[in-house]
Structure 1
Amino acid sequence: MKSYFRATAAAVAASLVAVGCGGGNTQVAATADPVTPVVPVDVTPVRTVKFDPSLCVAQTGAPYGQTVGITGTNMMVTSADISASAAGCKILAGGGSAIDAAIAVQGMLNVTEPFASGLAGGSVITYYDAASKSVHAYDGMSAAPAATGGVDTVYKAVAQDVSTTAPYNLCKTGLTAGASISSQQGNTNISGRAVGVPGTVAVLDLVHKSYGKLAWNKLWDDSIAAATNGFPMTQYMYSTLYSDAGEFDDDGNPVAAGSGVAAWVNSAGTAKGAARCKYPDINARYCLASDTTKQKPLPVGTVITNTDLAATLATVRDGGAAAFYDPAGSIATAIVAKITTGQLPCASILPTAGTASAPSVASTIAKIPSLMTTADFASYKAVERKPLVGTRFGMTIYTQPAPSFGGVVTLYNLGLMERKAIGSNAFNGVDYLHLVTEGSRLANADRRNIVGDPAYSNSNDRISVLLSSSYLDSRAALIGSTAIGTVAAGGTADGIPAFSATDPTLYNPLALADESAPVFFAQQARPLQIARADTKHGEDWNTTSNVAIVDGYGNALSMTTTINTHWGAHIEAAGLMINDVMSNFSASTPGMDVNGYAAYKRPRSSISPAIAFDADGKLRLVWGSAGGGPIPDYIVKTFLGNVVYGMDIQAAINAGNFSGQNGIAELEAGSSIAGSVASLISTYGAGSSAAATGLTSGLSGIAVTYDTNGFPVYHGAADYRRNGAGYGY
């Protein structure tokens, strides 16, 4: 990348010229106009960055009403919450680096978006260091605890669940040890049993040790003040709890007007959990005390305080990551106590199944204790991994490797779209939507049995084939004038290795397989079109937070951070909403699935923050998204809009969303493209179905252009669907 240096003017010396006259006499005469020799001067323009917090401004129209990005030439931060972006800009303008600002942003998100991310969740970071011109990928995803009651512990009743010994004799699951509790679905997933060991603080600490400029304890003041003095109930937070006019829940299921949002819905759509405001910890802080039905949240704008969270943030501020992970410390002990003995007496009773049109509602709140111990906190480590890299449409994209499947799907689908010359079609036209949804369907069919924690299987070797040029050529050839009905995922003829378990103690996270490496093994075929009821999704849909930052030194960060589903396990401890990441493991044949449960293992995730550079090595795009399973579709949409179609990044973000991850073409209900469902079917056939459903993205990004001097100009944008904003100058 081009570096810009301050010009230094050379000293210019004037001299007089002596003139000699003939004869024996010598007369010295001074010239009337002394001659000054021409000395070359470096006139390279100087880029001067201003560091002044008073210059920070918010994106016009944000939140919810932004139509164009905010432009600045010094620094930029954009996130899912306007207050978090403001806190980040303040740190940048005070001389902080991108990771310094990210810590301040995460602290504030923990306060203002407790339903989406926080210190009791996990995060991944893609980081560009301008000094070394290198990109790094960091994994702070939540991990399984050490306890093992079988490979599928999270889905099976263990001894304590059926024990007659106090205090576990209070449990009334009606199960025998080893019996499956996967039929409990949402009940299991929204419980203490689904909690993974948090990783966010560890990964923030790891990156800060390498790239922080300001002291750790200088980055938390704004979030502590907000938790102490109060923050408003936002429109988006309200919508995660209650529907006034009809909406879609986390999994794309419709929520009737005047209803609380259910904590879970089973895959058949015949049963659902209680409204979120019926969960005690959510109700106590975020819901309307006067509502005897326990469904309604506090009104939008109501000021909420969380002094317990303020104390936790102060502990982390003063004691760093060591204080958070100390097995004898106040935070780890509070979390473990709440998700274990705090979940007694146990209860997990599903309602009798109703119908998809009239599902039965659970009358009880599931309480299934975790198997975690405080020792699991002490053993957690954030991981630096080699980034997943691919060149698409002339841009080199760095994104997250496994166990994120989002990076794989992003590069896979963009590779298909490049081969199909998608730019020759009208953006969001029917032909365009056919291509992108078919690409998403293929990418997600292939990744499901391939992407998992690379420490436990040969996932990276298998991914290398999925992203190879020859494989993408063959998959692009499947996209034609008729929508694909079903298709087997790649197998022996394509050279994809079969699943093979590996020893996690021998895994080197910085030894990612090259995408062109030849491999010659087999894989079981899998149908593309997944058997499922329309609008019911296999992976969580509208969750998480995203952050994109470029600092005053040219460093860039894209971070996606999550407690998994909205409101996580619906349990609060130490002021923190706790994650339910264990629900991301697959309930399948023990030992045979790439994403099966194992001690210390990290379940796969869709989160995949990315950074792109042009052919000259110049930074061009820093972006990522929240939104559950379809996250890579949102990332692809934004890249295509901004890079391929030349749209302002905010316009690209605001464009209607699509996904094909569940085997059919799905378009965002209520958007300008929702009406194209019928046209997709009539034009490209009914080989696959198509539907309008809830696809709530949470994009944030910074596009970078360059002025006539070659200096960067930043264009920040945040999703109008959330409470976010760009902030900078």
Structure 2
Amino acid sequence: MRIFRRTGLKKAVPAGLAILLGLSLAVGATGQPQAQPRANNFESIAPEAATGRSEKQATRAASYMNAAANPYAAEAGAEIMAMGGSAVDAAIATALVLNLVEPQSAGIGGGGFMLVWDNAQRKLRAFDGRETAPAGVDRRLFFDAAGRKKGFMEAVVGGASVGVPGMLRMFELAHAGYGRLPWAALFQPAIRLAEAGFPVSPRLHALLERDQQLRQMPQARTLFYTEAGTAKQVGSLLVNAPFAAVLRRVASEGSQAFYTGQVAADIVAAVRNSPNPGGMVLEDLAGYRARERDPVCAPYRVYRVCTMPPPSSAVNMLQTLGILSHFDLARLAPLSPEAVHLVAQASRLAYADRDVYVGDPDHVRMPLEGMTERGYLASRAKLLDPARGSTVPATPGEPPSKHGALPAYGRDSAIELPSTTHVSTVDAARNAVAMTVTIENVFGSKQMVHGFLLNNQLTDFSAEAEENGRPVANRIEPGKRPRSSMAPTVVFNADGSLRLVVGSPGGSRILGYVAQAVIGVLDWRLDIQQAISLPHYLDRNTGLELEEGTAAAVLAETMRARGHKASVIELNSGLQGIEVRSDGSLIGGADPRREGVAAGR
């Protein structure tokens, strides 16, 4: 397995890129764009965040490509495809290595979503491995005995926040339909690396050093920290033998080795006996099932954009694109005030619908088709003032519903944080996977079992079941899957051929990150790496957010003058994408804000 030298993109936009973006940079005495005060943000983790990041170049390949948030993981997927594995095989192997080298973001103690494109059958399927609430969960889970709603971290740490993990069941379901190599072969890269050890990366070290709760947990302290209680240094070897042992069992016995038996018993014990205990029982694990669903798709220009259906709120990313289809973005520079204004205004309308209508489709009636209906989006587009922004939150629309009258849903109050990871994979047959997986918060619930961390996914539910007397669609209920913003996305050309595979971590900001990458490639004709590297801006119906330390931050006063409530903060995405060119070649891009690469042949 090759080891890649870490690269990244400087926060100060290079002069050549500034010309491409149509920018006139305001600079301070240092000659760099003026940065705004730093904001507290759970993903402000990158060790080089204060000093900037170096440029990344697109990766080109003729046969296959795998883009992931860590070089070891990206190369593991490429190794699997070199052995004749499918895109699904490669994505599974990649995710298992990510559990090892990027434990803060995802793992078998969590869940995720997969979009799988079968090129020969011209068929796209969606696999839902989202965690579920235990059957015994109570709607007052995140309130104390006095009726006070717990603070976020108070709710996160311990067993109460742990949902029933779904990742391995999802992998097994997808592999049964679209795998080529034997199931056990997919585990070998992660097993080898777990047993031999891997060097601690700068990002992992910085996260470990900052986390005060994790170091108090015995298993995690033994694995990640020195005897003095400090995080293991960058470059030091991290061996995870307990995790390797679990992988060996699942490789030989299937996912039942995780969902029943000793591993399952230890998960339940960790949840029930931890501080802030939860009520998970063995039957919750044994009864978990991944779901195969129909993806949700909508036109954008001459293209067709497909993404994950609910419980993902990725449909609201499609709404952003659908609203913007009424405007000629191609004539605007990517960081022009006009482009920022239109994208922000469209996204705030989409987020307004998201916070009311989206939930688990097995529990909630929602106007899914209506939210992307052409007439409805045209009516929403008419609400955009081409010249002025607004500091007043947008109100949700009334999308048409095939279910007839819907309940008067209340607004969701869930806090969705960004410790997640994404994998984009295209194999030699042009099958593709867009997969986003997560344990929710950084290091999840902080509870570790057999070398892997348990999620805190239940905090993605709305703590309140009602808002002003109206039921909240994303309220917590037994067996329910919490709403997510994970938006693995696949784009097709007008002739139905594969064009783009992309996705990102980033909590509720994922919808904005993915939409911006799609616009960058399709409207502004950037390659996927250039689109991923663009400075971020979005509005989650809470005000315009501009990425600090980039050329976007320079626009703050200009956008305020246009009527926006603008703030400058760190927007640390983790986009990974692959585009298929007209000649069939592949171009891969990895987010310079993290440690990822695209690996291909």
Shorter-chain TM-score bucket reads 0.7 to 0.9
**Residue 441 of structure 2 corresponds to residue 565 of structure 1:** yes
2:129–2:170 contact (8 Å) kept in structure 1: yes
Query: 1:337 deviation in Å?
Result: 1.0
The amino acid across from 1:133 in the alignment is: R
1:568–1:579 contact (8 Å) kept in structure 2: yes
2:6–2:595 contact (8 Å) kept in structure 1: no
Q: Which residue of 1 aligns with 2:223?
A: 285
Q: How many residues align?
A: 554
**Residue 200 of structure 2 corresponds to residue 219 of structure 1:** no
Distance 1:189 1:518, change over 3 A: closer
Q: Which residue of 2 aligns with 1:602?
A: 481
Distance 1:397 1:212, change over 3 A: same
Cα displacement string for residues 50-81 of structure 1 (whole angstroms, at most 9, x for unaligned residues)? xxxx9x99699479745221111111111111
Q: Which residue of 1 aligns with 2:389?
A: 483
Secondary structure of 1:390's aligned partner? strand
Q: Which residue of 2 aligns with 1:322?
A: 256
Query: 1:488 deviation in Å?
Result: 5.2
1:546–1:559 contact (8 Å) kept in structure 2: yes
Deviates more, 1:600-609 or 1:420-429: 420-429
1:427–1:645 contact (8 Å) kept in structure 2: yes
**Residue 62 of structure 2 corresponds to residue 154 of structure 1:** no
Distance 1:59 1:479, change over 3 A: farther
Cα displacement string for residues 255-291 of structure 1 (whole angstroms, at most 9, x for unaligned residues)? xxxxx35xxxxxxxxxxxx565445444332234325
The amino acid across from 2:234 in the alignment is: V
CA separation in 2, counterparts of 1:143 and 1:677?
40
Structure 2 runs not aligned, ≥5 long? 10-52
Secondary structure of 1:717's aligned partner? strand
Deviates more, 1:274-283 or 1:75-84: 274-283
2:219–2:451 contact (8 Å) kept in structure 1: no
The amino acid across from 1:626 in the alignment is: P
CA separation in 2, counterparts of 1:323 and 1:665?
47
TM-score, structure 2 normalization: 0.88
Distance 1:57 1:646, change over 3 A: farther
CA separation in 2, counterparts of 1:323 and 1:147?
23
CA separation in 2, counterparts of 1:488 and 1:545?
30
1:96–1:212 contact (8 Å) kept in structure 2: yes
How does 1:49-198 map onto structure 2 within 5 Å? 61=7, 65=54, 67-149=56-138, 152-156=139-143, 175=145, 179-180=146-147, 182-198=149-165
Q: Which residue of 2 aligns with 1:370?
A: 278
Of 324, 339, 354, which aligns to 1:432?
339
CA separation in 2, counterparts of 1:382 and 1:235?
34
Of 538, 542, 548, which aligns to 2:424?
548
Distance 1:584 1:241, change over 3 A: same
The amino acid across from 1:393 in the alignment is: R
2:107–2:453 contact (8 Å) kept in structure 1: yes
Q: Which residue of 1 aligns with 2:16?
A: none
Secondary structure of 1:154's aligned partner? coil
Query: 1:239 deviation in Å?
Result: 3.0
CA separation in 2, counterparts of 1:447 and 1:276?
32
**Residue 480 of structure 2 corresponds to residue 575 of structure 1:** no
Q: Which residue of 1 aligns with 2:308?
A: 400
Cα displacement string for residues 292-317 of structure 1 (whole angstroms, at most 9, x for unaligned residues)? xxxx4222212111111111111111
Q: Which residue of 2 aligns with 1:409?
A: 316
CA separation in 2, counterparts of 1:593 and 1:280?
38
1:59–1:69 contact (8 Å) kept in structure 2: no
Cα displacement string for residues 11-37 of structure 1 (whole angstroms, at most 9, x for unaligned residues)? xxxxxxxxxxxxxxxxxxxxxxxxxxx
Cα displacement string for residues 91-118 of structure 1 (whole angstroms, at most 9, x for unaligned residues)? 1011001111111111101110111011
How does 1:224-623 map onto structure 2 within 5 Å? 224-242=191-209, 260-261=210-211, 274=212, 276-291=214-229, 296-326=230-260, 329-341=261-273, 343=274, 367-405=275-313, 407-459=314-366, 462-480=367-385, 481-486=387-392, 489-490=395-396, 494=398, 496=400, 523=408, 539-589=415-465, 592-623=471-502
Query: 1:518 deviation in Å?
Result: 8.8
CA RMSD of aligned residues (A): 2.3
CA separation in 1, counterparts of 2:428 and 2:156?
42
Secondary structure of 2:356's aligned partner? coil
Deviates more, 1:416-425 or 1:72-81: 416-425
Query: 1:482 deviation in Å?
Result: 1.2
1:496–1:520 contact (8 Å) kept in structure 2: no
1:60–1:66 contact (8 Å) kept in structure 2: no
Secondary structure of 2:254's aligned partner? helix
CA separation in 2, counterparts of 1:310 and 1:525?
45
2:200–2:234 contact (8 Å) kept in structure 1: yes
Cα displacement string for residues 436-494 of structure 1 (whole angstroms, at most 9, x for unaligned residues)? 122221111111110000111112xx232222112211221222111123255245xx4
CA separation in 1, counterparts of 2:551 and 2:109?
37
Cα displacement string for residues 655-680 of structure 1 (whole angstroms, at most 9, x for unaligned residues)? 11122115100011122211211111
Cα displacement string for residues 139-173 of structure 1 (whole angstroms, at most 9, x for unaligned residues)? 00111111133xx142245xxxxxxxxxxxxxxxx
CA separation in 1, counterparts of 2:5 and 2:215?
33
CA separation in 1, counterparts of 2:349 and 2:282?
42
CA separation in 1, counterparts of 2:569 and 2:78?
35
The amino acid across from 1:436 in the alignment is: V
Secondary structure of 2:585's aligned partner? strand
CA separation in 2, counterparts of 1:196 and 1:551?
32
Secondary structure of 2:592's aligned partner? coil
CA separation in 1, counterparts of 2:569 and 2:416?
13
Cα displacement string for residues 315-334 of structure 1 (whole angstroms, at most 9, x for unaligned residues)? 111111121112xx121111
Secondary structure of 1:192's aligned partner? coil
The amino acid across from 1:679 in the alignment is: T
Secondary structure of 1:297's aligned partner? coil
Query: 1:241 deviation in Å?
Result: 3.5
1:116–1:564 contact (8 Å) kept in structure 2: yes
**Residue 600 of structure 2 corresponds to residue 728 of structure 1:** yes
Q: Which residue of 1 aligns with 2:555?
A: 676
Distance 1:430 1:239, change over 3 A: farther
**Residue 542 of structure 2 corresponds to residue 666 of structure 1:** no
